[in-house]
Structure 1
């Protein structure tokens, strides 16, 4: 790919899969967004919407996997965009990289904040007199993200081990939670309950309310580009990276469906659950009792912590690669690698710092924090779309890697782009009515701000110095520069 090796190849196929599986993390995603789904479409959209979204996201993952096989680098999406573009390679690469960067930073902040929120819920269950505040939640978030930063300064081998533990934590946790909800509650809903439709979004259109319900699955299925970003640290990356992406989506789809069914059929008083501050926690309390709910909540919080750790690892590699091509302020700092751990330590702390900056507004306003991190999903999926679109535009001129879709590459890519466009529009439309300062969807504003800043920076200076991915020489010259 034209770069000297600085990162060690310590990730096996399972480790590469583990990074994306940990970031998708169905326990974290479903527990964070179930309340929204209960009001936007109800059981019907939670169950059947999940199945539909899983298939669409699998198309996105397969199309991305084909690109990953052809360009297995830490730069991932922005590198592929620069290589696949026929003209204006620098511009395509620039916007893809910044959308990816902002989306990942927002994901780290959002996951850390979600974990802190559920930590607060656990504290309330343990000590009912405890009164959580936004300031306490922010402080817990800071501790979580900084701790994840410390771990990301360790060797790649330690990070790989933790990601393996994350997979088993998540799988065993799913079995325990689903099993408990299936066996312990005295009553369960009838099978037909999965077809019930509920729309309490405030919008009179059931179709619109139901479409919004698709966001539960879309919010959960983010971050699977992590396998792509870990390519330079993965053995046989041209095959194992795309396999990691697609397997993570398939296994998450199956596990997530089991969890949704278990939660939905265990709902007692629907109004009580849907109106609670943490609907999944209320389901656990009503069906299993407080003691069991506290135990299972520990499992969920652990999954969220592993999710944030994997997300930060992926974010760090993207910063490392983007800086290697001179696309970030102080690039010479961020693409340096620790001689002791062979990891981009400075890039890890930049990722931590940027995530903490996004968390700060939550000290005063949860709405302000939501407005900032709302770019997470939109930014990531738009970054996913660019290299897939450019690959489609190349058509037969695209040179695939050993893992490819063959004649299905074009139709799968079209499905992937169509879904990204639809889901991105849904994320930017109003999600509650009547609109107020607390219910307004700030995602379009956040996206416009990011694009405006990127455009101003591009026109002011970047277009003259950034031409896309840099080649350090021919294969022999690059090999002579390897430091590992």
Structure 2
């Protein structure tokens, strides 16, 4: 599952960064977006993120903290402006929330067939792709003081705050679409709506904030992927761990694992970049993989929760069983959507990556003397290490 997590972070890195090049910059800078320029722009974005992570963890964290603030302020401001200007100009049309656009009403809410899904059911995947990545806080738990309390709090705050803001943003944009069918042919519909409603100057200013937010999102994804590869390599669980577990003596960062994740991202980008449905394929794979990861996590937790050490920070109490049940039902529903034939490429990507991980697992079992040799290492208290380092610096 660590390997599957890595394959998810690698593909979602490309999906998020590709959004900047394909859906925002063409409108903001007034040029025609093509597969070629989206490819090289996304490639440069990944390189910039990798350089930041490789050269300074502290700078990366500070940049992300500022970007998150900009994201919250910018998104709240954008939502308020869209509603206010739309209401002032009498452009808000909330009937769009229930419009099928150019899609026929018949079968719109259908659950579909064995190999197809109705349009409305398919649309629920928008939430599945948007409300994802909150586990990045857990991926960085080893670098967090008092993670048992801080990480759960960060996760639910991210889901709640951005979930609410994101929903309001989608409602505002949908109500301001005008004729939904007219925007169907646009490759940048959201940016088009923002520019039309708020004007090119203010619209572009807010799109700059959107670019910063998306760049920061990709930065955290790459950082999480780097830490995942490094941690698995440290525990000798990742192919080529001898290279990826090293810490640069001067920069004090896992430079090798950063380069590795960035290179894998570039390979995935190259494989998808010349396809006309590249964005759909990337988003689909980046939605399918976390659904698999979350589903397995929920099942494993349900089976093993009584054998886990007691939590020192966050507990669901009596809500634990209902939350587990609802989570399992939702994930089963979400995974069922991917039976649609349009998801053939994402399933192929998942299958190939799963086979690679399975082959390496068999190799580990054969060369390490069985499952007992792969027992997880003991948990360590990061706070004690941080306190010791702080004391050593004070003494110096």
Q: Answer yes or no: same fold by TM over 0.5.
A: yes
TM-score range normalised by the length of the shorter chain: 0.7 to 0.9
The normalised TM-score by structure 2 is 0.85
Query: What is residue 338 of structure 2 aligned with on the other side?
Result: 427
- Looking at structure 2, the residues matched to 404 and 188 of structure 1 have their Cα atoms a distance apart, in angstroms, of 46
Partner SS for 1:311 = helix
Gaps of 5+ in 1: 1-95, 432-439
- Looking at structure 1, the residues matched to 143 and 363 of structure 2 have their Cα atoms a distance apart, in angstroms, of 35
The 1:295/1:455 distance shift into structure 2, 3 A limit, reads: same
Tell me by how many angstroms 1:266 deviates.
1.6
The 1:191/1:209 distance shift into structure 2, 3 A limit, reads: closer
Query: What is residue 267 of structure 2 aligned with on the other side?
Result: 357
Query: What is residue 146 of structure 1 aligned with on the other side?
Result: 47
Q: For residues 147-206 of structure 1, what are the alpha-carbon distances to aligned partners after superposition, in whole Å with 9 as ceiling and x for unaligned? A: 000110133322221121121111121123112212224123345553445572898342
Query: What is residue 113 of structure 2 aligned with on the other side?
Result: none
2:353 counterpart of 1:450: yes
2:148 counterpart of 1:243: no
2:38 counterpart of 1:137: yes
Tell me by how many angstroms 1:217 deviates.
0.8
Residue 188 of structure 1, aligned match among 86, 91, 108: 91
The answer (yes or no) to whether the contact 2:102–2:180 under 8 Å persists in 1 is no
Give the 5 Å matches for 1:15-414. Answer: 96-122=1-27, 125=30, 130-185=31-86, 186-191=89-94, 193-198=96-101, 200=103, 204-207=107-110, 208-367=118-277, 370-371=280-281, 374-402=284-312, 403-414=314-325
Tell me by how many angstroms 1:345 deviates.
1.8
RCO higher in structure (CA 8 A, sep ≥6): 1
- Looking at structure 2, the residues matched to 343 and 427 of structure 1 have their Cα atoms a distance apart, in angstroms, of 38
Greater Cα offset, 161-170 or 442-451: 442-451
The answer (yes or no) to whether the contact 2:28–2:207 under 8 Å persists in 1 is no
Tell me by how many angstroms 1:377 deviates.
2.1
Tell me by how many angstroms 1:111 deviates.
1.1
Q: For residues 120-153 of structure 1, what are the alpha-carbon distances to aligned partners after superposition, in whole Å with 9 as ceiling and x for unaligned? A: 413652xxxx443322111111110000001101
The answer (yes or no) to whether the contact 1:273–1:283 under 8 Å persists in 2 is no
The answer (yes or no) to whether the contact 1:358–1:369 under 8 Å persists in 2 is no
The 1:234/1:121 distance shift into structure 2, 3 A limit, reads: same
The 1:210/1:118 distance shift into structure 2, 3 A limit, reads: closer
- Looking at structure 2, the residues matched to 295 and 211 of structure 1 have their Cα atoms a distance apart, in angstroms, of 34
Query: What is residue 114 of structure 2 aligned with on the other side?
Result: none
The 1:180/1:380 distance shift into structure 2, 3 A limit, reads: same
The answer (yes or no) to whether the contact 2:27–2:191 under 8 Å persists in 1 is no
- Looking at structure 1, the residues matched to 242 and 267 of structure 2 have their Cα atoms a distance apart, in angstroms, of 22
Query: What is residue 35 of structure 1 aligned with on the other side?
Result: none
Gaps of 5+ in 2: 111-117, 391-396
- Looking at structure 1, the residues matched to 101 and 124 of structure 2 have their Cα atoms a distance apart, in angstroms, of 13
Number of residues of Structure 1 aligned to a counterpart in Structure 2 = 373
Partner SS for 1:379 = helix
The answer (yes or no) to whether the contact 1:227–1:241 under 8 Å persists in 2 is yes
- Looking at structure 2, the residues matched to 474 and 132 of structure 1 have their Cα atoms a distance apart, in angstroms, of 49
Partner SS for 2:277 = helix
The normalised TM-score by structure 1 is 0.70
Greater Cα offset, 112-121 or 135-144: 112-121
Q: For residues 381-420 of structure 1, what are the alpha-carbon distances to aligned partners after superposition, in whole Å with 9 as ceiling and x for unaligned? A: 3222223212211354443312111232222122212222
Superposition RMSD in Å = 2.8
